[in-house]
Structure 1
């Protein structure tokens, strides 16, 4: 309270003969001083007995039938509350209203206290159990919803799951029927749950993003069932402890054009929305489409320019799997592929013919029960279709002859030799493709597979160029040569050696972007076997110290590569650790994008074209993430639990 003056005007009309006899009706103004704050404190100060630090004594429970609930002293008998926590007040209440309980003594009095406590806390326990039941039902609903998203099921599957659960409960544990009935899984609730889980995963990823020292981006674009262009953006980040995270950054839907500038605008929005710093970007990897890899206005070029403007440095790479597929397509062999595809299409295009062929294979107990379609889009389709055709070539020849569609190539040793060679080389290419697939692959591992395969091709070339060709690694070709010993198939070996040589050149041409950073790729897994002169200047001194340290050399042989770099002293080997984090952050392929597009096609199929872009993003984020949704955090915002909310 502030010191103040209060003016009180006393309006009194009266005559003042001494002061002004000529004024019959003067106004008198009287100034009255209000009491100061010190005086008021003295006058109005009261004792606050509730702040004197009184505490509830346990003996009051037995002596006066009182208990403490939320800092309030409550009578167990009448459930009234005593305002002031003092024994005098409690005793007075007891003696005034419940003196008849004095007759209870000893154990009898203690039992009565327990009974009264049970009566008092019964409603509280009821509401606590109800809240726990609702909380458990809500958590169970979130768990089931997460499984629905992870298994790419429609949102309406929740009701079907609920019916299945209730049927099981009815037969096994009928007493728990109501608790299971509280689990709410209708379509609208499942949608809300998926939105909540996706938002929580995004929150966790945003928190992780603040800890990233470096990260790279993997981007690919495809069209969904509703003809909407979808840009998938994955990030691979590394923190100071060398922990690597591969997560879906965003799914951006484009309704208009998909030029490099359009993709770049969407990518910038996703990066900025996640509050990531552009100067921490170490690279971007895409497929070879012009909008992605164009030299002037391609997405990867625009990203590298943006990183340079922000003070960073990024490299652009072409997906290593896509380049391997393009190399495999270099081996066309149309003289083999066209007759094979024609025969397969004839067998499988008509239902009757297909059934007859399957029954024919069953009757003769063939090794396989059918031929495989060739799909040029699928990476391993060509090799699988050729391998199956080669295994069933005799049965296919008999069936086609029976149907009046003979295939004369099956009796030509040279054509069969070409078929055998193509089967073998595609089998080796398929093995390479399979080794390049997978999540969390380090770029040095992927490039080592490419280098190893290139070395194998050189070996195959030498074997085919010999005077006595070596077909040890070409089992199908060897089988044809054994089946037709009188035919001079060896003349074809020169052709095969030339084709392998051309394939080697194609590999060298395709992987120029990886070859440009081959020194860094080699240094990362083998820091002790690289000449310091071949290392970047800023790493040479620390690399010499590292190579001369016997203890670190021993650890490099014993520990995983990531763990080895993780245990290096940050002060002594700061540049080496920074280099390792940059290499760990690089994507080597867009495998995660391709895998996620397959998931997208399952979720947004022609039967579910009404699935919105935002809900598609939520489902893909839940499906691809390695993070676990924090249900406790999600439910913290709820003041009360209701199974349907």
Structure 2
């Protein structure tokens, strides 16, 4: 962590945190905190693991708050340096009075908090009872075919091979990730006829209900719709993942998807251009009312979860393209609502000056956003705008880094290494996850030679 400390704490830079909690193979609750900050050496924004700590007694909001505070104190980070905190939206994190975020806002009232966008997009994918039953039946059927016995699984693969099917096996879904079922459904749909034939030849009591299920046209209509809609949701989720995505990138993606949902709603009542599986399955007069209702619920759910985000369109536009901001007063109002320290008057004048600067406009088209704001926009001329941009670019848009780190944790601490201590686990994770390279020349220069006598 010394490399981070040297880079970060000279000058007291602002930082952002991403916080998530999970359990390891020994059922110990582990709290993981990632930090994002401006790297003064590389002149770019960097992410690194701030710390991992076990929650020994409970996972209440107070316990999480105290653990985060201890990590910050160890690194010499003041609470007021933390610009934003991104969590998974669990009650212990975001509870109004006793949540960890609420306790942190007592130390820093200007702290901006976000629920993880990736988690929220998954939460938006809530199925009605009828759709949930169809999905669950599909998963039970696939588990029956693949996991009930190795002999039956082998028979299935041989049958698909002989039938020259489009796939030689079925995928198993991940119980934790709802959207992984979408990929399972896509795979199933390509070989549904072969699966129906295989179930028919089994002639077992367990196989009969699944064979009847595949003959039910109404249920197959729902499966076709689920194949298409989960494909769209998976596409969104993939765009939301990955490191170094700014909160503006992620918000832009979500806003675009909200507009796509409106297109999907109209498309279902028309040509089904965006629902090819539905188009293939449903013939003649289509009753798509339940599909439209499902998309309607998604639209409402997304609006409830994302419209309350404090980063509005004008702030997003400042980062993505400040030369397109037309409403100067509306822009300054949005900034002062989000950042209490901001001064509307100077921000308005600086925005006008920035938009009139031909050289900056030329640079903007030929460089990435972070480089433009960090290296092209002079702090002496545009101090307010640059500070706002630095704050926004520092923010995490999701807890993806934490989730990826937990995957690393599960590789390091397995059932064969379950006795690994928390201290050793955390050291291994830091070595595996840090983006910083050791400064070998400095280390070699500090080494003391020991001559034998």
2: CA distance between counterparts of 1:227 and 1:498? 40
1: CA distance between counterparts of 2:112 and 2:43? 20
Residue 447 of structure 1, aligned match among 227, 251, 260: 251
Residue segments in structure 1 that go unaligned for 5+ positions in a row: 1-201
Give the equivalent residue in structure 2 for 1:374: 173
Give the equivalent residue in structure 1 for 2:240: 436
Residue 281 of structure 1, aligned match among 76, 82, 90: 82
1:231 aligns with 2:231: no
Residue segments in structure 2 that go unaligned for 5+ positions in a row: 333-343
Bigger shift: residues 383-392 or 544-553? 544-553
Residue 290 of structure 1, aligned match among 71, 87, 91: 91
2: CA distance between counterparts of 1:316 and 1:545? 31
C-alpha change, 1:254 and 1:275, in structure 2 (3 Å) is same
Residue 372 of structure 2, aligned match among 552, 556, 564: 564
Bigger shift: residues 410-419 or 233-242? 233-242
- Residue 515 of structure 1 and its aligned partner are, at CA, apart by 5.3
2: CA distance between counterparts of 1:239 and 1:225? 34
Task: State the SS of the aligned residue for 2:239.
Answer: helix
2: CA distance between counterparts of 1:622 and 1:396? 47
Give the equivalent residue in structure 2 for 1:142: none
Task: State the SS of the aligned residue for 2:152.
Answer: helix
Give the equivalent residue in structure 2 for 1:607: 416
Residue 595 of structure 1, aligned match among 404, 415, 423: 404
1: CA distance between counterparts of 2:69 and 2:133? 48
C-alpha change, 1:632 and 1:556, in structure 2 (3 Å) is closer
Residue 475 of structure 1, aligned match among 266, 276, 284: 276
1: CA distance between counterparts of 2:437 and 2:361? 37
Q: How does 1:232-311 map to 2 (within 5 A)?
A: 232-238=32-38, 243-308=44-109
Give the equivalent residue in structure 1 for 2:336: none
Render the CA deviation track for 1:276-299: whole Å, top value 9, x for unaligned. Answer: 232221100101111111111111
Task: State the SS of the aligned residue for 1:213.
Answer: coil
Give the equivalent residue in structure 1 for 2:341: none
2: CA distance between counterparts of 1:593 and 1:528? 35
C-alpha change, 1:587 and 1:245, in structure 2 (3 Å) is same
1: CA distance between counterparts of 2:233 and 2:67? 35
2: CA distance between counterparts of 1:634 and 1:473? 58
2: CA distance between counterparts of 1:409 and 1:223? 37
Bigger shift: residues 501-510 or 273-282? 273-282
Task: State the SS of the aligned residue for 2:365.
Answer: helix
Render the CA deviation track for 1:203-240: whole Å, top value 9, x for unaligned. Answer: 11111121452111011111112222111010000256
- Residue 388 of structure 1 and its aligned partner are, at CA, apart by 1.1
User: Is this contact kept in 1: 2:122–2:179, CA < 8 A?
Assistant: no
Q: How does 1:200-239 map to 2 (within 5 A)?
A: 202-211=1-10, 213-238=13-38
Give the equivalent residue in structure 2 for 1:585: 394
User: Is this contact kept in 1: 2:373–2:386, CA < 8 A?
Assistant: yes
The total of aligned residue pairs comes to: 428
- Residue 610 of structure 1 and its aligned partner are, at CA, apart by 1.6
User: Is this contact kept in 2: 1:292–1:298, CA < 8 A?
Assistant: yes
Task: State the SS of the aligned residue for 1:535.
Answer: helix
- Residue 339 of structure 1 and its aligned partner are, at CA, apart by 2.3
Give the equivalent residue in structure 2 for 1:417: 221
Give the equivalent residue in structure 1 for 2:348: 540
2: CA distance between counterparts of 1:281 and 1:472? 46
- Residue 390 of structure 1 and its aligned partner are, at CA, apart by 1.0
Task: State the SS of the aligned residue for 1:628.
Answer: coil
Give the equivalent residue in structure 1 for 2:438: 629
2: CA distance between counterparts of 1:622 and 1:501? 46
Task: State the SS of the aligned residue for 2:68.
Answer: helix
Q: How does 1:74-93 map to 2 (within 5 A)?
A: none
User: Is this contact kept in 1: 2:8–2:38, CA < 8 A?
Assistant: no
2: CA distance between counterparts of 1:529 and 1:542? 14
1:338 aligns with 2:136: yes
- Residue 479 of structure 1 and its aligned partner are, at CA, apart by 1.3
TM-score, normalization by structure 1: 0.64
User: Is this contact kept in 2: 1:242–1:581, CA < 8 A?
Assistant: no
Give the equivalent residue in structure 1 for 2:335: none
User: Is this contact kept in 2: 1:463–1:470, CA < 8 A?
Assistant: yes
User: Is this contact kept in 1: 2:14–2:391, CA < 8 A?
Assistant: yes
Give the equivalent residue in structure 2 for 1:183: none
Task: State the SS of the aligned residue for 1:329.
Answer: coil
- Residue 478 of structure 1 and its aligned partner are, at CA, apart by 1.3
Give the equivalent residue in structure 1 for 2:337: none
User: Is this contact kept in 2: 1:291–1:299, CA < 8 A?
Assistant: yes
Q: Structure with the greater relative contact order (CA < 8 A, sep ≥ 6): 1 or 2?
A: 2
The structure having more radius of gyration, on CA atoms, is 1
User: Is this contact kept in 1: 2:261–2:299, CA < 8 A?
Assistant: yes
Render the CA deviation track for 1:420-469: whole Å, top value 9, x for unaligned. Answer: 1110010010010001100011110011110111111101111223xxx2
2: CA distance between counterparts of 1:541 and 1:441? 29
1: CA distance between counterparts of 2:60 and 2:106? 17
TM-score, normalization by structure 2: 0.90
Give the equivalent residue in structure 1 for 2:188: 389
2: CA distance between counterparts of 1:414 and 1:379? 23
2: CA distance between counterparts of 1:331 and 1:299? 32
User: Is this contact kept in 2: 1:447–1:514, CA < 8 A?
Assistant: no
- Residue 517 of structure 1 and its aligned partner are, at CA, apart by 4.0
1: CA distance between counterparts of 2:313 and 2:57? 39
Render the CA deviation track for 1:18-50: whole Å, top value 9, x for unaligned. Answer: xxxxxxxxxxxxxxxxxxxxxxxxxxxxxxxxx
